Amino acid sequence: MQLNDLSPAPGSIKAKKRVGRGIGSGSGKTCGTGHKGQKSRSGGTIKPGFEGGQMPLQMRLPKYGFSSRAGRVTAEVRTSELNKVDGDIITIESLRKAGLISVGIKRVKVMLSGEVTRKVTLEGIRVTKGAKAAIEKAGGKVIEATTAEEKPAAAKKSAAAKKAAKAEATAPATKQAETPKAAAPEDDADPAKQDDE
């Protein structure tokens, strides 16, 4: 067999459509673009979703849901990948050095997928129940990360404190005006009257 004997499989290469080659071809004069108008011109494309200037459908409908920014800095690691990390203590930094997570990742969760073949200790990494059982079965242990960071003092108001502050602000000011003031006690003896006597 020679190289010149080789050829593509039948039907694997389709001939390019040649337009503007006579009316007998079916794509002759207007080349399939129709008569006049923006869409028949060179570069006359219209962006997807454009409705001629009226408010398009995707802007008329209300927005729904949101995209969490926490997902940008969170990664998942399989239990089988823990075997690739050097050392017995595995942290986020050691996972980064092993090339299992990227530089911007700040939180990691280990999922049960595959076996753990050696004894490892996880520090500051969250794990699922199944992954924790697999790690402990291999003789390792898990020291999980703290659940949440401390919030600023301004945002730490309890519900009771907020409710009390709201009730105090909405209390009617007329209540204080209606309460009668205590009368000043009269002097038992007027000094001017005593002098006259």
- What domains are there in the chain, each with its CATH number? 70-143 (3.100.10.10)
Instruction: Work out the pLDDT band at 78, boundaries 50, 70, 90.
Output: very high
The mean pLDDT value for 98-102 works out to: 93
Contact assessment for residue 121 and residue 140, using Cβ atoms and an 8 Å cutoff = yes
Q: Which two tokens stand for residue 73?
A: 């800095």
Over 80: is that where the pLDDT of 187 sits? no
Instruction: Work out the pLDDT band at 165, boundaries 50, 70, 90.
Output: confident
Distance CA 169, CA 37 (A): 66
Q: Output the pLDDT for position 185.
A: 55
Most confident of 70-74, 161-165, 183-187: 70-74
Q: Which residue has 């600023």 as its token pair?
A: 152
| Residues counted in the chain | 197
Continuous H helices in 55-173: 57-60, 92-97, 129-137, 159-170
Distance CA 100, CA 77 (A): 7
Specify the DSSP element, H or E, that contains 94. helix 92-97
Over 70: is that where the pLDDT of 22 sits? yes
Instruction: Work out the pLDDT band at 174, boundaries 50, 70, 90.
Output: very low
Average pLDDT along the chain: 84
Distance CA 75, CA 92 (A): 10
Q: Output the pLDDT for position 144.
A: 80
Of all residues in the chain, the percent with pLDDT exceeding 90 is 68
98 by Cβ neighbours in 10 Å (0-12 / 13-18 / 19+) ranks as middle
Residue range 143-160, pLDDT digits in tens: 986 655 445 555 555 677
Specify the DSSP element, H or E, that contains 178. helix 174-178
Q: Which two tokens stand for residue 42?
A: 């060179």
Residue range 111-141, pLDDT digits in tens: 999 999 999 999 999 999 999 999 999 999 9
Specify the DSSP element, H or E, that contains 193. helix 191-196
The mean pLDDT value for 35-60 works out to: 95
